[in-house]
Structure 1
Amino acid sequence: MTEETPAPVLPSSRSLILVLGGIAMMSGLLVVLTYQLTLPRITYNQQMALEKAIFAVLPEATVKSNYLLDESGLALLSDEDFANANVFAGYDGDGELTGLAMEASARGYQDVVTILYGYSLESE
């Protein structure tokens, strides 16, 4: 004389799918929102780090100019196009060219490895 307990009522598949879909949509929205909100700050910090590195490899330079070197040749860029530049010319206080800094990158084991190397006219 045992009393049978009724089986628990399971939620419908539809409600499970709706809840899981809603959570996934909210998670995706939060990831995209975080990316969009932090992108300007990350870009600014990367540009400041690159500018600091340029003056580290060209210690005599006080002013720099941005250039883009591609298949069509060398083109002078404005400071607003700093992100597109891959060659940087350093000038001293008198406006004399002190050296060049060039950015290069190659595929590494897991990610792209980017280096910045400088060529000084004074210490060839």
Structure 2
Amino acid sequence: MSQTSNIEMHNPASSKKMLMAMVGIGIISAFLIVMTFELTLPRVQRLKAEALEKAILEVLPGTVRTQAFGVSTNGELVKIEEGDKTETTLYAGYDKDEMLVGYAIEAAGQGYADIIRILYGYDPDEQKLIGFQVLESKETPGLGDKIEKDEGFLNNFKALDVSVSEDGKLRNKVITVKQGEKQNPWEIDGITGATISSRAIGNIVGTSTTEVVPILYQEHKKDKTSQGQKQMESDEQR
């Protein structure tokens, strides 16, 4: 029998062994990937939770305790516990005297490269945004990532006007303008060289505040009215 015939006879068995080996390697690799994911997931979640907590303290200075809330379909605040999923998540921050410092609100939207996730602080008494942090971004290093580092840009969010009118709506929608062209307290001064990313932040904040701030403002007004009535009743009893 020729050498060629011998090769032809042995090839099917060799191919089968090779296929089985590849399948085995694939199964083992998949198992290792799943195990690695399962083992590292708690640590990843813990690190994310720690980063979020740190961001809340940054956008709401003076906070010592937080309570997570979601917004129900009828526009009311509802307390949520860890692990609960809601379309809008926000955190009430309280100081050492249990007085409300403000609300830290999560929001997200499309940036230049990918989805940008942010957190901003809202003071319902002043009706202003008082802080801003980027939670997640894949914007271009050296350009788009200036939304996280540029001091002038971040200063926009120390007193950004989000006041509510008598009809319960935002007086003016937050927008981003070209750098140096800011004239109104509800405008964000953009970043030259990172126009798309800074405009994306304006769109995210503008959409989120339009939807969420009126709800928080009205809720805060109701709480203050209730507290005032309780104080009056207490004074009368004295």
Secondary structure of 2:62's aligned partner: coil
Q: For residues 24-53 of structure 1, give each alpha carbon's deviation from its aligned partner in whole angstroms, at most 9, with x where no partner exists.
A: 111111111100110011011101110110
Hey, which of these two has a bigger chunk of strand by percent? 1
Paired amino acid for 1:93? K
Aligned equivalents of 2:113 and 2:26: distance in 1? Answer: 28
Aligned equivalents of 1:81 and 1:29: distance in 2? Answer: 26
The yes-or-no answer on 1:76 pairing with 2:79 is: yes
Hey, which of these two has a bigger chunk of helix by percent? 2
Paired amino acid for 1:13? S
Q: TM-score normalized by structure 2?
A: 0.44
- Among 116, 120, 125, the alignment partner of 1:117 is 120
Paired amino acid for 1:104? A
Paired amino acid for 1:24? G
Secondary structure of 1:12's aligned partner: helix
* CA RMSD of superposed structures (Å): 2.6
Q: Is the 8 A contact 1:66 1:82 kept in 2?
A: no
Which consecutive aligned stretches of 4+ in structure 1 deviate over 4 angstroms post-superposition? 6-11, 81-85
Find the counterpart in structure 1 of residue 92 from structure 2: 89
Shift of the alpha carbon at 1:77? 2.3
The alignment covers a number of residue pairs equal to 119
Paired amino acid for 1:86? T
Shift of the alpha carbon at 1:76? 1.1
The yes-or-no answer on 1:102 pairing with 2:105 is: yes
Aligned equivalents of 1:81 and 1:34: distance in 2? Answer: 22
Q: What stretches of structure 1 of length at least 5 have no aligned partner? A: 1-5
Q: What stretches of structure 2 of length at least 5 have no aligned partner? A: 129-238
- Among 26, 34, 55, the alignment partner of 2:36 is 34
Q: Which has the higher contact order (CA 8 A, sep 6+)?
A: 1
Q: TM-score normalized by structure 1?
A: 0.80
Shift of the alpha carbon at 1:105? 1.2
Map 1:23-62; keep pairs closer than 5 Å: 23-62=25-64
